[in-house]
Structure 1
């Protein structure tokens, strides 16, 4: 039993590592090529017929880069296709979704207090939502193909806000934000697999057949690549959110997730404008900071309180005995030196909550994870009710007031 559990943990670790490695490769190449394209000098009437060029220095060497709108006169040898980073990021991410959320649905995907689903129902909703995302996005791109691209981005944002709300109505908060990230990442990988690479292959095939490629294929690919550029940072935030209960396990988690997309736009706008040599719109950083402050406020509303570092007072604070009983009944079956919950070999994150001293030592974590957020117990498997959470909040604030 231990060997299987250890093997499962290492399998998850390996897949997560692969996911991080491939995501870094994909994001890095995406950011680089967007910056390169925006920074090209296009006013030099190059003899090669290229649309623009740029000189760069890195690692002690100089690089002379030229971009062709369609293709050069002759097909170059050793043409590099940037696609596998995207494919493996999505595949490893989906495998991780299966390992953590589908196989661990009882803990991480389903919360009976949100919607009492069977595992197969929750998994079906998850899969259907990812497929729906690509279909809806494709329809939007086709409808707004000739419109101002800002209109298209606003329409896409509306879909993302709707999905953020939807996911919080069917899954745990943790799974909701993770799924919103997977939903967005599916659009991004779909752009590469279904649009960008096929369009580039059409151009290459035309060139090899002696035909003049249609420039529209490159234009469409560039549009989808730009969408990916603006969606990348929100996806990173959403994928990391499961480590921060104040992001995923609060009442306004879907609003927080929606605001994260706006932060992604403001940050990328600064970089894209800077790389295009059109100035440095520092106002975007001010807007980003204001949005983040709003997120921080939403994460603790309506329980925002000033925390005082008076840990020694926790045991004497009003309600301590009641909270200790709550923690023993709702948390200690997992957070114990020898957990009794099936499948757990040690206390999650090494947090033990068996004694009064344990509770006072981890008071802040209990307050954040089980008081003002619903991060713990995961999927509320031990049925901690609102009265229990209110008691934890009241006890913690009683100990830290002043």
Structure 2
């Protein structure tokens, strides 16, 4: 067991093996790999990616940013040169995987256009599509912030792009403010996504 748990790679593989066991149980119960199964698989991937994305968003906002002033200056390069770049890699690709799998799920289940238009074409009759649409729009805004505001500014703030100290400070603040914006939006986004699963 230690050989599995001391290696992140082995741990993740073991997690997917256990999921494969559940997959075999699913086949035994249903024996059918039709539309419903694939919609489920993409929803599962959507949730996995979303946990990675929002988990790291909350790590940055609840742990890293508030504790940076408490870290001695000589130790800060370890955060900026090692931890933050690795976390930002998984953060931005978690966002990308979340948006892509979410669009696939919405398309597979036939509500992509109705949700993105917030139910206008349905005369606002299907509340589930309005709720999921609000969540989708909030998620899309958050994804945009990650790729087109937070990440470009973090590259400057962390010194991945040449810039003077003043530009780094401004970029760091801008990245932090948009990260906080995403933290703010994550709460109603999750509310809308979850509520949509319980509205008929």
TM-score, normalized by length of structure 2? 0.67
1:227 equivalent to 2:181? Answer yes
SS of 2:34's partner is helix
8 Å Cα contact 2:49-2:95 kept in structure 1: yes
Q: CA deviation at 1:41?
A: 6.1
Distance 1:77 1:178, change over 3 A: closer
CA distance in 1, matches of 2:58, 2:193: 18
Q: Where does 1:180-259 land on structure 2 (aligned, <5 Å)? A: 180-202=134-156, 203-206=159-162, 212=165, 214=167, 215-245=169-199
Q: Where does 1:250-269 land on structure 2 (aligned, <5 Å)? A: none
Q: Which runs of 5+ in 1 are unaligned?
A: 51-64, 103-108, 110-122, 130-162, 246-374, 376-402
When the two chains are superposed, the root-mean-square deviation of aligned CA atoms in Å is: 3.3
Question: Residue deviations 1:99-144, cap 9 Å, x none?
Answer: 1124xxxxxx8xxxxxxxxxxxxx3x755x5xxxxxxxxxxxxxxx
Q: CA deviation at 1:37?
A: 3.6
CA distance in 1, matches of 2:187, 2:121: 20
Partner residue in 1 for 2:74: 48
8 Å Cα contact 1:200-1:218 kept in structure 2: yes
Structure with the higher helix share, 1 or 2: 2
Q: Where does 1:3-402 land on structure 2 (aligned, <5 Å)? A: 6-37=33-64, 39-40=66-67, 42=69, 46-48=72-74, 50=76, 79-80=85-86, 81=89, 82-102=91-111, 123=113, 129=117, 169-170=123-124, 172-202=126-156, 203-206=159-162, 212=165, 214=167, 215-245=169-199, 375=200
8 Å Cα contact 1:185-1:235 kept in structure 2: yes
Higher relative contact order (CA 8 A, sep 6+): 2
SS of 2:74's partner is coil
Distance 1:9 1:47, change over 3 A: closer
Distance 1:10 1:204, change over 3 A: same
User: Aligned pair count?
Assistant: 163
Q: Which runs of 5+ in 2 are unaligned?
A: 1-31
CA distance in 2, matches of 1:201, 1:14: 34
Distance 1:66 1:8, change over 3 A: same
